[in-house]
Chains A and B, each alone.
Chain A
């Protein structure tokens, strides 16, 4: 066969297209238990299941927020959780027209013979797990590969291993009814300039699509979650228009039009930065046959967390902050964001953590 054409063919295409609906994007709420613990710790909240549940309920029940979202990525625990009055989160989302997704990778491990580069694990029994998640209501999955820029990085081995890992994950998902989000994150850490980031991004994406094609993945039933093309974290910042130009050009050179949507990761940018960059991309004139949207974790939740502080009396204030970021990013996907959510507390704080372990 040329590309996957099994029983889920039409559903995969419809799901992927829906996620790319202009005006909508993805909330990445799939922090592992360890990682969400760090977030909660930063506002002095204990890392117990009830608090994790409470945070996600805060987000999902924000009045008016779901209209700006086409999908939410869950961690496994959250997929099976409910609101305080017993409604499964999955049902809350479905009612609001939001598709549930699920993180399926099992983290990164080091590649021997490299300078600390990694590959991502999680292929064993992945088909069985996907089937289970499909039954629980998930319709898309996510798998994060990580690469970095250094004097000898990313190495050919890292590129090949991660591209192949992503392709293998992607076809297994499709065989089990889940749209795979393909995420080859190139970390922002480093003193390199934006041209170097562009060069590496283009090389990595070319390898990814080669692998996806070799594995017969149905591109129309996938999504791409790349980094934006930016200068390294230790390099001087540039304007959103410059980021937009380099990013869109890199995508024009590597992403076939069959891919319906590209949902960017925020990777440590502040909430406002991430929104402004996405907005600039959608204002840019040029060939963009895929929709350009967001799949933000930190860049949607930072100011919300700050407002909440884990206290019930702050829930309303926190929800206002969350709604503001959702709306701002929705406008950014249409290229009409006016910068009016910039006044929120904490929205311009960098979320970059050196050598961030997700």
Chain B
């Protein structure tokens, strides 16, 4: 067993390193070194990952996020008086996923695990419904947020244990991208610990996902909660993304094969002043230009409690000029709110509900191209969906 020689040059006890050669003393024989660890930037899935990411980041298209956990989906169903059964969850997702022509505006759909294995009532796999429309199937792979010990009442995201085999199984089932959502809270600091953990967890997840054929969507959501001004959000966002990219690089993640899912840079929900879409766009683009390397193909914003129209207007403002990455959407509530209200759980409303989905999807598609106008939007679409302390 090697013993620490306290009088020896400091580097000698580091296994595998050649002994430090003091100037003017004879060189000692080099200790056989460890095999130089050359990070493998290209794994067996690299080309496919790059293609998948490009496909999702295609002009005029974005992501439909329908990966609500069973509990959260239950809340949605309850809001229209429906019981939280597997049958109802299946019926609701079927409504969304069999919407004709959805692929014109949607390039990817994120599933919860249950949904990845479901089919329509006449036996067609949901995955196949998507592929028919050239929509990539994605899968939520994290295991939710839990309290972070030693922090300021903050959370961290679980899910690394067994992640590799989960991803491999999901790939077999047809998933081609993954999603992992962690959160950062500005009213809680955020503490350096929480930011570091969020970034490191994302980086580890991303490397494992790529190793198993799934494009990782990297989502550190900076929660809307708080009364802070937009400048503070910018500061926190820049810190969070600096950490994220640094750890992604350390984990040898291939940037051409990832997608980002950031929150837009806005004032806190309880701040006295609202910001215009132009202001939000300016601050958000400033943050992206300062932190996101051009190798990243797509940035798919979360809506985080904004109203359907707000989310679309803000995205539109960001696309008024060329950007070095595809700037698009990955919306859940901001795409589904009107759909649920129209459906009300009744089969006779399915067609109308699907039309409502297409209306929102098309609006966001136009916003991705910078060509959206808010004329003709309904009042319902303009209603905010922020909930203080929202647990997802």
User: A residues engaging B (CB < 8 A)?
Assistant: 1-3, 112-115, 151-152, 196, 199, 202-203, 206-207, 209-210, 213-214, 219-220, 249, 252-258, 287-289
| Nearest CB in chain B: distance from A307 CB, A | 41
Query: In angstroms, how far is the closest chain A Cβ from the Cβ of B35?
Result: 10
Among A114, A202, A203, A207, which residue has the most Cβ atoms of chain B within 10 A? A202
Could you tell me the distance between the alpha carbons of A258 and B235 in the complex, rounded to whole angstroms? 16
Measured CA separation A288–B239 after assembly (Å): 24
A135 to B180, CA, bound (A): 52
Those of B178-199 within 8 Å (CB) of chain A: none
For A1, A196, A209, A220, which residue has the most chain B Cβ atoms within 10 angstroms?
A209
Flag if A249 contacts B295 (CB, 8 Å).
yes
Contact indicator A3/B324 (Cβ below 8 Å): no
Task: Find out whether the CB atom of A3 lies under 8 angstroms from the CB atom of B294.
Answer: no
Query: B286 — which chain A residues lie within 8 A by C-beta?
Result: 258
B292 touches A256 (CB 8 A): yes
Q: Specify which of B39, B235, B239 is in contact with A199 (CB 8 Å cutoff).
A: B39
**Residue contacts A-B, CB under 8 angstroms, 20 given:** A2-B234, A2-B235, A2-B238, A3-B238, A3-B290, A114-B11, A114-B20, A115-B18, A152-B18, A199-B39, A202-B249, A206-B249, A209-B245, A213-B238, A213-B291, A249-B295, A252-B255, A252-B295, A253-B293, A257-B324
CB B50 to nearest CB in A, in angstroms, measures 12
Cβ of B33 under 8 Å from chain A: yes
The CA of A287 and the CA of B255, in the complex, are separated in Å by 13
Which of A253, A254, A258 has a CB less than 8 Å from the CB of B289?
A: A258
Q: Which of B9, B11, B234, B291 contacts A256 (CB 8 A)?
A: B291
Contacts of B293 in A (CB 8 A): 252-256
The interface residues of chain B lying within 8 Å CB-to-CB of A210 are: 242, 245-246
8 smallest A-B Cβ distances: which pairs? A213-B242, A206-B249, A252-B295, A287-B294, A2-B235, A210-B246, A258-B289, A289-B324
Known: A113-B10, A206-B245, A214-B242. A257 touches B294 (CB 8 A): yes
CB distance from B253 to the nearest CB of A (A): 10
Q: How far is the CA of A2 from the CA of B324 in the complex (A)?
A: 22
Choice from A209, A254, A287 contacting B324 with Cβ under 8 Å:
A287
Cβ contacts under 8 Å, B41 to chain A: 199
Bitwise interface map of B from 246 to 270 toward A, beta carbon under 8 Å scored 1, else 0? 1001100001100000000000000
Compute how far the CA of A207 lies from the CA of B238 in the bound complex, rounded to whole angstroms.
Answer: 16
CB distance from A200 to the nearest CB of B (A): 10
Q: How far is the CB of B280 from chain A (nearest CB, A)?
A: 16
Interchain nearest-CB distance for A290 vs B (Å): 9
B38 adjacent to chain A (CB < 8 Å)? yes
Contact bitstring B1-42, A, C-beta under 8 A = 1, else 0:
000000001110000011011000000000001001011010
Q: What is the bound-complex CA distance between A152 and B11, given in angstroms?
A: 12
CA A220 to CA B290, docked complex, whole Å:
8
Query: Any chain A CB within 8 A of the CB of B47?
Result: no
- B273 is an interface residue with CB less than 8 A from chain A: no
Q: Let me know if A115 and B246 touch, CB within 8 A.
A: no
> How many of chain B's residues have a CB under 8 angstroms from any CB in A?
35
| Interface presence of B86 (CB below 8 A) | no
Known: A113-B9, A210-B246, A252-B295. A151 touches B234 (CB 8 A): no
B294, A115: Cβ atoms closer than 8 Å:
no
A149 to chain B, nearest CB (A): 10
Expressed in whole angstroms, the minimum distance between the Cβ of A47 and any Cβ of chain B is: 28
* Cβ contact within 8 Å between B289 and A256: yes
Q: Contacts A2-B231, A210-B242, A252-B294; is A257 near B289 (CB within 8 Å)? A: yes
Q: How far is the CB of A217 from chain B (nearest CB, A)?
A: 10
Give the residue among B20, B36, B39, B290 with the most A Cβ atoms within 10 A.
B290
Known: A3-B238, A113-B20, A287-B294. A152 touches B33 (CB 8 A): yes
The smallest beta-carbon distance between A304 and chain B, in angstroms, is: 36
- The distance in angstroms between the C-alpha atoms of A253 and B295, with both chains bound, is 5
B246 and A206 within 8 A (CB): yes
- Smallest CB-CB separation from B253: which chain A residue? A253
Alpha-carbon distance A2/B292, docked complex (angstroms) = 16
Q: A151-B36, A209-B242 are in contact. List 14 more A-B contacts (CB 8 A).
A: A2-B231, A2-B238, A113-B9, A151-B18, A152-B17, A202-B249, A203-B249, A206-B246, A207-B246, A213-B290, A256-B289, A256-B290, A258-B290, A289-B294
Q: Which residues of B contact A220 (CB under 8 A)?
A: 290
Beta-carbon contacts of B133-152 to A below 8 Å, as 1s and 0s? 00000000000000000000
Chain B 215-256 per-residue mask, 1 if CB under 8 angstroms from chain A, else 0: 000000000000000010011001100100110011000011
Minimum C-beta distance from A213 to chain B (A): 4
Closest chain-B Cβ to A131's Cβ sits at a distance in Å of 27
Q: Distance (Å) between the CB of A26 and the closest chain B CB?
A: 23
Find out whether the CB atom of B292 lies under 8 angstroms from the CB atom of A257.
yes
Q: Are A288 and B33 in contact (CB under 8 A)?
A: no
Name A196's closest neighbour in chain B (CB-CB).
Answer: B38
Expressed in whole angstroms, the Cα–Cα distance for A209 and B246 within the complex equals 9
Known interface pairs A2-B231, A151-B33, A210-B246. Does A113 touch B11 (Cβ–Cβ under 8 Å)?
A: yes
Min distance, Cβ B71 to any Cβ of chain A, angstroms: 37
- Determine which of B234, B255, B324, B325 lies in contact with A253 in the assembled complex, contact meaning CB atoms within 8 Å: B255
> CB-CB < 8 A to B11: which residues of A?
113-114
Chain A residues in 8 Å Cβ range of B36: 151-152
Least Cβ–Cβ distance between A292 and chain B, in angstroms: 13
CA distance A258 to B286 in the complex (A): 8
Distance of A260 from chain B, by nearest CB (Å): 10
A254–B296 Cα gap in the complex (Å)? 10
**B292 contacts which chain A residues (CB < 8 A)?**
256-257
A254-B295 Cα distance, complex, nearest whole Å: 8
The CA-CA distance from A2 to B17 in the complex, in Å, is 40
Residues of B within 8 A of A207 (CB): 246
